[in-house]
Amino acid sequence: MPGFELFGDLERKQVNDVLDNGVLMRYGFDGMRNGHWKAKELEKELENTFQVNHVQLVSSGTAAVSVALAAAGVGAGDEVIIPTFTFVASFEAVMALGAIPILVDIDDTLTINPTAVVKAITPKTKAVMIVQMCGSMGDMDALQTICTKHKLLLVEDACQAIGGTYKRKPLGSIGDLGCFSFDFVKTITCGEGGAVISNNKQYYTNSDHYSDHGHDHIGNDRGAETHPFLGYNFRISELHAAVGLAQVKRLPEFLAIQKKNFGIIRDALSQIPEVTFRTVPNGGEESCAFLNFFLPDLEIARNVSAGFKENGVDGCFHYYDNNWHYVRKWDHLKELKSLFPISEEVKEGLKYLQTKEFPQSDHYIGRNISCLIKLSWTEAQVKERASKMVEVIKASLLKL
């Protein structure tokens, strides 16, 4: 991770196809295309990759979450349960629809805790969104059981988890809707882009129309298309799709490299008794885009994080003090710092954040270090990196 590390001739060819025919927009201009429909081709490739019936490309992973929720009818005043450990885009995408993000604790999978989900359900709850952070999953069986019992949508934000599987099913394909990001630092990249996936034809049709101003995409005259309902512009361009089309064909190559590099580092850290690893549910297989491990306490984790930086071990994150990915530093959400007025319904729905504490999440995130796995490392570099990590961790433990 990420795919941009290994750009090559295949990406250049796909992009040049688009530049040669001059049509950068995914819709219309049929006569100019010379048969090139990169977004449509990429959607077909992704249907095979994710083993689903329908894929709708959009402009980003954030857009994918908003489009997915809107396609299933989630909107003003509805509550969407999300984890405390995610990216700020998760609550942004919910709030863009006038819905209310309800943050709940994670567990040792580093994803949403099913017990916390049950406690958070109210008559306003419409969806549960698991965010498969850092390439792995939570207890999908438990979440499906909860959502079925309470008649809730199960939405998978698998933006960081392409290539991960649960009981041989690709992550993103298990819930009612799955969301992916193909931004510049994902395992496969379009530069910017995302996808909504589903086996539900109505959700797909809604996503298709909603992401393009409500266009019904019937016929071959864009100007004559009708608009069954309101929509917005979340389109991907042909240039972005072209890059993604090349990258998705290389996904097995990328995953194999990730798995190898992940294994070398994990094996090295496994020799330290005080280091433990995130729980992966039975039947689950990580994408290996990140290696996540726990240290005995917050102080040691902070010392190790600082030691990594001092010793040139880049790309390792201690999210406890991070203002992008963990609830502790989301002051702009807690204080509702918005350029435009937020509805009274959402304001009221978010009051809980002014006093809410998440001790279980603090327990796990405070002790967690998350290290991205690069594709461009040589084997020698991976081994050297693993050795440095072991040295830093042992030195921090000796200070106890």
Residue range 327-354: mean pLDDT, rounded: 97
Residues 182 and 41 in one domain: yes
CA gap 283, 1 in Å, rounded? 23
Residues 288 and 197 in one domain: no
Q: Which of the residue ranges 10-14, 32-36, 76-80 would you say has the lowest mean pLDDT?
A: 32-36
Structure confidence at residue 378 (pLDDT): 97
Please say whether the beta carbons of 228 and 346 come within 8 A. Answer: no
Residues 332 and 241 in one domain: no
Structure confidence at residue 347 (pLDDT): 97
Structure confidence at residue 88 (pLDDT): 97
Residue range 201-217: mean pLDDT, rounded: 98
Structure confidence at residue 2 (pLDDT): 87
Residue 363 has pLDDT above 90, yes or no: yes
Residues 239 and 356 in one domain: no
Tens of pLDDT along 168-198?
A: 999 999 999 999 999 999 999 999 999 999 9
Residues 87 and 225 in one domain: yes
| Helix ranges restricted to H, the chain | 9-21, 38-50, 61-71, 89-95, 114-120, 140-150, 201-210, 238-248, 251-269, 298-310, 331-334, 344-349, 359-365, 379-398
- Give the end of a domain, one of 251, 276, 292: 251
Residue range 33-62: mean pLDDT, rounded: 97
Structure confidence at residue 303 (pLDDT): 97
Residue range 54-72: mean pLDDT, rounded: 98
Residues 33 and 123 in one domain: yes
Six-digit token string for 375: 């594709």
Residues 140 and 175 in one domain: yes
- Give the end of a domain, one of 236, 251, 266: 251
Residue range 21-28: mean pLDDT, rounded: 96
Tens of pLDDT along 87-134?
A: 999 999 999 999 999 999 999 999 999 999 999 999 999 999 999 999
Structure confidence at residue 298 (pLDDT): 98
Burial of 99 (0-12, 13-18, 19+ CB in 10 A): buried
Q: Domain total for the chain?
A: 2
Residues 40 and 145 in one domain: yes
Residues 260 and 231 in one domain: no
98: alpha, beta or left, given left = phi > 0 and alpha = psi -120 to 50?
A: left
pTM value? 0.97
Question: Mean pLDDT of all residues in the chain?
Answer: 97
Structure confidence at residue 77 (pLDDT): 97
- Give the end of a domain, one of 211, 227, 251: 251
- Percent of the chain at pLDDT > 70 equals 100
CATH number assigned to the domain comprising residue 123: 3.40.640.10
Structure confidence at residue 1 (pLDDT): 74
Residues 135 and 277 in one domain: no
Residues 190 and 148 in one domain: yes
Structure confidence at residue 26 (pLDDT): 97
**What's the DSSP call for residue 154?**
E
Please say whether the beta carbons of 196 and 43 come within 8 A. Answer: no
Tens of pLDDT along 68-81?
A: 999 999 999 999 99
Residue 400 has pLDDT above 90, yes or no: no
CATH number assigned to the domain comprising residue 354: 3.90.1150.10
Tens of pLDDT along 156-173?
A: 999 999 999 999 999 999
Structure confidence at residue 399 (pLDDT): 81
| Domain encompassing residue 301 | 252-398
- Percent of the chain at pLDDT > 90 equals 98
- According to DSSP, the residues that pair with 81 across neighbouring strands are 102, 128
Question: Given strand 177-181, what is the order of strands in its sheet?
Answer: 54-58, 194-198, 177-181, 153-157, 125-131, 79-83, 100-104
Residues 205 and 88 in one domain: yes
